Amino acid sequence: MLIISILLGLIPLAGIAWIFVSGTITTVDGLFEILIMLSISGIFFLNAFWELRDHGLLGKAKPEPAPATAKPAPPSEDS
């Protein structure tokens, strides 16, 4: 899923490069196409980021869960 998300995130960026090369950046259609392609690319890259984070390859590691046999601390007698 990670590889697919990265590939599908790169395809709209190639479309944006094509808009710059073809010279349609100055038209309203070109501007809206770029906005749509950036949105699509951002969604796929966000999904790739979440996949990397869930696998522990990016960001902070997940904290270890407490063992199930741990006993709670007794209440204090300060009152």
Tens of pLDDT along 22-69? 999 999 999 999 999 999 999 999 999 999 999 888 776 566 666 667
Q: How many CB atoms lie within 10 A of CB 15?
A: 16
Cα–Cα distances in angstroms (integers) from residue 55 to residues 5, 41, 47, 48, in the given order? 15, 21, 12, 11
Q: Would the pLDDT of 14 be above 80?
A: yes
Average pLDDT over residues 7-23: 96
- Which 8-state DSSP code applies to residue 24? G
Task: State pTM to two decimals.
Answer: 0.69
- Distance separating alpha carbons of residues 46 and 30, to the nearest angstrom: 24
- pLDDT for position 62: 60
